[in-house]
Amino acid sequence: MKFIDLDRQYSAYKEEIDGALSRVLESGQFILGPVVEELEKVLADFVGVPYAVGVSSGTDGLLLALMAYGVGPGDEVITTPFTFIATAEVIALLGAVPVFVDIEPDTCNMSVEALQKEVKARMAKGAPLKGIIAVSLYGQCSDMEEISNIAGEYGLFVIEDGCQSFGATYRGRRSCGICGLGVTSFFPSKPLGCYGDGGMVFTSDHEIFERIRMLRVHGQARRYRHEFLGINGRLDALQAGVILAKFPHFKEEVAKRQEVAALYNRLLQEHLPEVRTPVVRDDRTSVYAQYTVRVPAERRDEIQSGMKEKGIPTAIHYPLPLHKQPVFRAHAHLRLPEAEMAASEVLSLPMHPFLEPHEQEEIVVAMKECF
């Protein structure tokens, strides 16, 4: 059994994907060009914003966004400690300081209460706080409107790290289109993945859009005329072709992921009440980039290794909150109990749209045996 079965997906859409790749190969246009532009338009429409910029990865999308907002040495950006390293890494790479606030115990997204307190305290003492990166973890949006309201009150920018939540909805709007700027990733294992690295930035702000377009090609306004220091941050045409070929199936895949999650919920609640199933708020939907449950911390290792012996792969997203990472040792004194507890209890089960009900039953039976 696979944790994410990309082979089944490729078999299902092989002709469309191969066709899209051939068209790019025959066009001879590999860097940006019409296929990337078409994808930007299609996905901007889907998200419901006027502007999208194809970028080289989710990480580079976040970096470009911070650069566009002018983040630099000494600035502070608030984020969550319970995410993939990239979210905070890009802040620190620009010489700015990530400020970690704790998470909600059930959704594992940033706590609005903790955010409000931190922003208030920092602004009161004149801290160089510039913005917020909220992460929509496991496929469910953070409380983007509440976060945007707090940001608006203090003139901060808000970025949604939607690398796991592309396609999710929040109060009827789509992830990456709710606050000032959203970033997603097309890393192969993400809900909408390509066959390499890729990502996209979404915004309604024309000025930010123009700046990110320049920053992704070395700050270039026109050929060999460089206005800013930028990076090589482009989405390549082959990867854009792959996404364009997969995208017509995306809504159906999201619905399948939600069915898979619903069956897991039912099976686990019936057979394994010790396991806490994921919580999705009433005003949103999840695309289940991960199906992540909570198990007692002291049992997790044996459950994971027991399942591995039975041929069932699981994963831990994430075993160490960012303030406990060696690279962020300056933050090691922080106490963020919810993030620390989540890191010790979470366990992700196989999740992809091609998972069969009998496989899910097998997974739950194996898990019960391991308990």
Ligand X SMILES: *Cc1c(COP(=O)(O)O)cnc(C)c1O
Positions that interact with ligand X (CB under 6 A): 57-59, 83-84, 86-87, 135, 161, 163-164, 185, 187, 197, 199
Give whichever of 49 and 200 is closer to ligand X, judged by the CB atom.
Answer: 200
Nearer to ligand X, 62 or 268 (CB): 62
Decide: 151 and 159 in contact? Cβ < 8 Å: no
Which residue's CB atom is positioned nearest to ligand X? 58
Least distance (Å) between residue 318 CB and ligand X: 9
**Shortest Cβ distance from residue 84 to ligand X (Å)?**
4
Tokens at residue 228, please? 């800013």
Q: Rounded distance, CA 282 to CA 309, Å? A: 37
Buried b (16+ CB within 10 A) or exposed e, 274-290: ebbbbebbeebbbbbbb
> Please, which residue, 116 or 189, has the CB nearer to ligand X?
189
Minimum gap (Å) between residue 109 Cβ and ligand X? 11
Closer CB to ligand X, 99 or 370, in the complex: 99
Helices marked H in the chain — which ranges? 6-27, 34-47, 58-68, 86-93, 112-124, 144-154, 206-215, 237-246, 250-271, 300-309, 337-345, 357-370
What the block records as the tokens of 39 is 């994808």
For ligand X, give the closer residue by CB, 127 or 320: 320
Tokens of 364: 């739950």
Please say whether the beta carbons of 160 and 136 come within 8 A: yes
Q: How far is the CB of 143 from ligand X (least distance, A)?
A: 16
Q: In the complex, what is the shortest distance from the CB of residue 342 to ligand X, in angstroms, rounded to a whole number?
A: 14
